[in-house]
Amino acid sequence: MKKYFLIVTILTAVIISACGEKKGDAPESAQLDSTAYVYDSTGIKAQPIDDKSNFQLAYNFNKGETVRYRLSTISENMQTLTTDTSITMKLHQEVVYVFDFTPKEIDKDGVTEADIKILGVKLSANVNGEKVNFEAGKNVDSADQKRFAEFLALWNNPFSVRFNKAGEVLEVFRADKIANKFFSLRGADSLDAQTKNMVKDDMVSNVLKPIVLQLIRKMPEKQLAKDSTWTIPQPPIPMMVFQINFTNKYKINSIEKLEEDRLAVIDAGMDYNVTGDTKYEERGVVYNFKKPVSTGEGTIYFNIDKGRIQKSKTKSYTEMFFTFDANTPQGKQKGSRKETVANTSILEML
């Protein structure tokens, strides 16, 4: 059952987990204009062209070039627990990152090492009608010091990534300063080295790498053209008592012209397979699970001529449900729990 509740923890952690600056502290750098956080969820308006040429979707940044991006993540989570009564929890959360991406080294094989510096982070959330707002660089009351540490640790603290021309992320590293700032803001400097390393590794896996994987997506190492298709299997994901095997599917739907550059407009989708028993018993409680339902779709605009993602918008939806039956001192208790999770990610080159 711990696996089931992990999803809820991840979605709500950013609201309840961190720490800000004390009121009156000076911001570490000039604050971004508020318009920097206004994302555009529409597609790129470009001109379709009749291009029958072959090409490879290879990343091709220039050493020392700085490219600015905005990544917006929108999450909707609803849980309903039904026993004698019904309790519903609703979460709507939007997190917007603005960051600079700067390649530092590119070797002869096209492996790139780059820095990512998050210049701004803004959070808005609504949890059952209670609103939460945060923006890095704005003063926060000292009573909120342990609420936004995750974001303040990222803010103006560069980390690094290595990837090859096909978009395979080889390493996400240089996260020590981010982790140390997080511990300082949380008042957790006294933690032992092993615990600190575990927390740092968790931040790399669950915070930094998901940001990187929106910017650097794996592409096929072969020649492509309009209507080309390919698939990329993903590592299995545990969910409740099940294991889900996802396969991402892609098709180049069209070639379009944006100013002087060609864009490959890629339709994204997914297939999945669920394995695992639907019945589970623990401490006298019998759970009956329904297999999760999941969907995913999106559009990726890859700039063929500049060798980078120009924009992308992807969406996923998962629905989970189980019933439980328990013998208690008060008699037999029955109930059910349903959870839906919808996530949207929008990456824009600014």
Which amino acid, one-letter code, is at 199? V
Task: Give the helix/strand (H/E) hosting 8.
Answer: helix 2-16
Could you give the CA distance from residue 282 to residue 287 in angstroms, rounded to a whole number?
A: 8
Q: CB–CB of 170/43 below 8 Å?
A: no
Predicted TM-score (pTM) of the model is 0.88
Best CA proximity match to 153, nearest among 27, 18, 24 = 18
Listing DSSP states for 22-65 in one string gives PTTPPPSSPPPPGGGG----SPP--EE------B-----PPTT-
Q: CB–CB of 313/298 below 8 Å?
A: yes
Q: What are phi and psi of 309, to 5 degrees?
A: -80, 125
Could you state, in chain order, the average pLDDT of each consecutive group of 10 residues for the chain (350 residues)? 35 33 39 89 95 96 97 98 94 98 96 97 95 86 74 95 97 95 89 92 95 97 97 94 96 97 98 95 93 97 98 97 88 93 97
Residue 342 confidence (pLDDT): 98
Beta strands 229-233; 130-135: pairing state: unpaired
Could you give the CA distance from residue 216 to residue 170 in angstroms, rounded to a whole number?
A: 11
Residue 284 confidence (pLDDT): 87
Q: What are phi and psi of 143, to 5 degrees?
A: -65, -20
Length of the chain: 350
